[in-house]
């Protein structure tokens, strides 16, 4: 399923040659309020014409144009009349296919450079004569194709920016999309607004209206069920669907007994009481805890929890049906299952050797549901990046505590309790977790980090309390920063905050006498401990 926006929108297509920055380019364009979509590099011109973009950006990529099997563009694209901006490998593609000369340098390095702008290119309108840029050196252009001129140089590169104004083809050796090119946004702006003539018509307000129309057209008067976890994606999906189809939506919230303290209250208050969304609350704690008894293997825990969730969810929809029948409600069963799938999950990833964006670990919490229950899917936010989903959530009136909450894994506290999950260990971890969360909030750090949480280790050690020797549990603190969860680093927290968290946990949580701070990055560690 393509994720094309309705044709009335301006649109930039991004051809993905496997750069780690492809999604960053797409986000930068959307920040300019222009819709952008990522497609594989080998998309034929015919399909591009059908999508009717105002302009095309060729991403960078890890290959050399001379590599065996190197990704090659359909070169007809260059004579289509659609403006093209090639970045790094994209520039090489342009030079290589249009008769210029590209040499293989055999090295791949990045570095800061100073760009000298020479010929008044529209790309650099309003940017003066010099710019800090972030270079990437792989292949290098050594001779330009016919019709091209140099637009800017750097010390090490005579062809840092090139252009063929007639054919509206532009190429950059450096990366305008990264933060290390501070005025890169303005370069992209010049391309998108002045060369491609895009209108600023991608706003979350218009998205909401259009998404509601699309949902109504898709589901008609059928019923939709949604597994609400309280996380950002399913919460925004719930609010959006509620706006679109009101009471045709029913959310199911499963308490698996592995939630944080008072989580179920927050979800019921926000969605049931404030939004008046039909919400079926299922307390299945006992079932989950029974299943988990004696299990210590992390993967086994995850599988058990996933399977159990599917069973509970299925049972809950059957109950909903029975309740409807009992009330004599009109309409058939629940034909649709809504999911908060986001754009990064649906981008067709290109497979290029050495492409770091390939190493993706996905977590499909309700992945088995559609197959098993013959649902059709409704995925109203599948066009959006996370930051856009948050904006939609705010515009729909969801509170900040939901919209900006930190990610929480589907298997919940079970993957933060190493060893067996028992009621007692859950209540120890819950108490410690509540302290971490409240201290992070009080110190204004909760929203600055990707995640901050406690992990209960299967390690006991000796301590002293008053005059008493203790022999009790260890809690590890995990506080990380990250862009997308794929890589992460531990946060250099102010010592006083760590000290306060540690003191409170040791003093207030019965059964814990030691707190340690996890100073590992991802990779090689992961964020969660299991």
Q: Where in the sequence numbering do the catalytic residues fall?
A: 88, 175, 177
195, 339, 409, 479: residue in contact with ligand XMP (rule CB under 6 A): 409
Q: Map residue 58 onto helix, strand or coil.
A: strand
CA distance 428 to 512: 8
* Site track 439-468 with ligand XMP (rule: CB under 6 A), x = hit: ------------x-----------------
Nearer to ligand XMP, 71 or 409 (CB): 409
> How far is residue 504's CA from residue 468's CA, in Å, rounded to a whole number?
19
In the complex, the smallest distance separating the C-beta of residue 523 from ligand XMP, rounded to whole angstroms, is: 9
Taking CB under 6 A as the binding criterion, the range among 48-56, 60-68, 402-410, 431-439 that sits at the site for ligand XMP is 402-410
Between 22 and 234, CB nearer to ligand XMP: 234
Considering only residues 268 through 307, tell me which ones interact with ligand XMP, judged by CB under 6 A: none
Residues 6+ apart with CB under 8 A from 329: none
Residue partners of 171: CB distance under 8 A and separation at least 6: 85, 86, 87, 90, 91, 94, 95, 141, 159, 161, 162, 163
Least CB distance to ligand XMP at residue 52 (A): 36
Residue with smaller CB distance to ligand XMP, 298 or 333: 298
Query: What is the pattern of x (binds ligand XMP, CB under 6 A) and - over residues 221-240?
Result: --------------------
* CB closer to ligand XMP, 116 vs 487: 487
Which of these segments, 64-72, 345-353, 382-390, 409-417, binds ligand XMP (CB under 6 A)? 409-417
Write out the two tokens for 277: 């969304």
DSSP assignment of 312-380 equals HHHHHHHHHHHHHHHHT--S--EEEEE----HHHHS-----TT-GGG------TTTTHHHHHTPEEE-T
In the shown chain, the binding pattern of residues 76 to 105 toward ligand XMP, with x for contact by CB under 6 A and - for none, equals ------------------------------
How many residues belong to the site for ligand XMP (CB under 6 A)? 13
Q: Which is nearer to ligand XMP, 92 or 429 (CB)?
A: 429
Residue of 272, 370, 407, 463 interacting with ligand XMP (CB under 6 A): 407
Please give the span between the terminal C-alpha atoms of the chain, in angstroms, as a whole number.
34
**Torsion angles phi and psi, residue 231, rounded to 5:** -75, 170
Q: How far is CA 92 from the centre of its chain?
A: 29
> At closest approach, how far in Å is the CB of 452 from ligand XMP?
11
Kindly write out the interface string for residues 485-524 of this chain, putting x where it contacts ligand XMP by CB under 6 A and - elsewhere.
x------------------------------------x--
Distance between CA 398 and CA 396 in Å, rounded?
6
Instruction: Please identify, using beta-carbon distances, which residue of 391 and 451 lies nearer to ligand XMP.
Output: 451
Q: In this structure, what DSSP letter does residue 36 have?
A: E
Residue 308, interface with ligand XMP (CB under 6 A)? no
Q: Alpha-carbon Rg of the chain, whole angstroms?
A: 26
Which of residues 327, 361, 469, 492 is near ligand XMP by CB under 6 A?
A: 361
- For 118-244, strand residue ranges (E) read 130-137, 140-143, 149-154, 157-164, 169-172, 223-227
To the nearest whole angstrom, how small is the minimum distance from the Cβ of residue 378 to ligand XMP? 19
Q: Is residue 365 a contact residue for ligand XMP (CB under 6 A)? A: yes
Q: Is 344 in the site for ligand XMP (CB under 6 A)?
A: no
Long-range contacts of 67-75 (CB under 8 A, 24+ apart): 71/17, 71/18, 71/41, 71/42, 71/350, 71/352, 72/41, 72/42, 72/97, 73/15, 73/41, 73/42, 73/97, 74/42, 74/43, 74/44, 74/45
Question: Which residues here bind ligand XMP, judged by CB under 6 A?
Answer: 361, 363, 365, 407, 409-411, 451, 485, 522, 526-528
């Amino acid at each position: 399923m393509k994720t094309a926006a309705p044709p009335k929108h301006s649109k930039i297509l991004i051809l993905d040659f496997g750069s780690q920055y492809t999604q960053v380019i797409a986000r930068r364009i959307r920040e300019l309020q222009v819709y952008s979509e990522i497609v594989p590099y080998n998309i034929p011109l015919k399909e591009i014409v059908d999508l009717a973009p105002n302009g095309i950006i060729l991403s960078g990529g890890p290959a050399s144009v001379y590599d065996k099997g190197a990704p090659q563009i359909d070169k007809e694209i260059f004579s289509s009349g659609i403006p093209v901006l090639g970045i790094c490998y994209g520039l090489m593609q342009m030079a290589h296919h249009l008769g210029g000369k590209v040499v293989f340098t055999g090295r791949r390095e990045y570095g800061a450079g100073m760009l000298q702008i020479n010929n008044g290119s529209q790309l650099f309108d309003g940017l003066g004569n010099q710019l800090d840029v972030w270079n990437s050196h792989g292949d290098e252009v050594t001779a330009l194709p016919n019709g091209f001129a140099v637009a800017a140089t750097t010390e090490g590169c005579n062809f840092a920016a090139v252009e063929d104004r007639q054919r509206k083809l532009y190429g950059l050796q450096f990366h305008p999309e990264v933060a290390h090119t501070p005025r890169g946004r303005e370069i992209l702006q010049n391309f998108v607004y002045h060369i491609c003539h895009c209108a600023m018509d991608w706003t979350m307000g218009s998205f909401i209206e259009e998404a509601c129309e699309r949902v109504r057209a898709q589901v008609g008067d059928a019923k939709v069920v949604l597994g609400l976890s309280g996380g950002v994606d399913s919460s925004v999906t719930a609010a959006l669907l509620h706006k679109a189809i009101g009471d045709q939506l029913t959310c199911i919230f499963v308490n698996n007994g592995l939630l944080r303290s008072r989580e179920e209250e927050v979800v019921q208050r926000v969605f049931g009481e404030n939004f008046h969304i039909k919400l079926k609350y299922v307390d299945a704690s006992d079932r989950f805890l029974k299943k988990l008894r004696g299990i210590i293997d992390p993967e086994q825990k995850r599988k058990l929890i996933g399977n159990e969730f599917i069973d509970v969810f299925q049972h809950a929809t059957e109950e909903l049906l029975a309740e409807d029948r009992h009330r004599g409600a009109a309409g058939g069963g629940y034909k649709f299952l809504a999911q908060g799938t986001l754009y990064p999950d649906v981008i067709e990833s290109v497979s290029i050797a050495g492409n770091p964006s390939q190493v993706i670990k996905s977590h499909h919490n309700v992945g088995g549901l559609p197959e098993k229950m013959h649902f059709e899917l409704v995925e109203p936010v599948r066009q959006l990046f996370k930051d856009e989903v948050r904006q939609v959530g705010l515009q729909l009136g969801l509170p900040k505590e939901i919209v900006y909450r930190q990610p929480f894994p589907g298997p919940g506290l079970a993957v933060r309790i190493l060893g067996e999950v028992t009621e007692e260990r859950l209540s120890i971890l819950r108490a410690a977790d509540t302290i971490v969360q409240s201290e992070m909030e009080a110190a204004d750090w909760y929203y600055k980090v990707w995640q901050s949480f406690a992990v209960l280790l299967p390690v006991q050690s000796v301590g002293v309390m008053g005059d008493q020797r203790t022999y009790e549990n260890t809690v590890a603190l995990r506080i990380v920063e990250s862009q997308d969860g794929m890589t992460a680093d531990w946060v250099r927290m102010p010592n006083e905050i760590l000290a306060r968290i540690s003191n409170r946990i040791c003093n207030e949580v019965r059964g814990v006498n030691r707190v340690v701070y996890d100073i590992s990055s991802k990779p090689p560690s992961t964020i969660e401990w299991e």
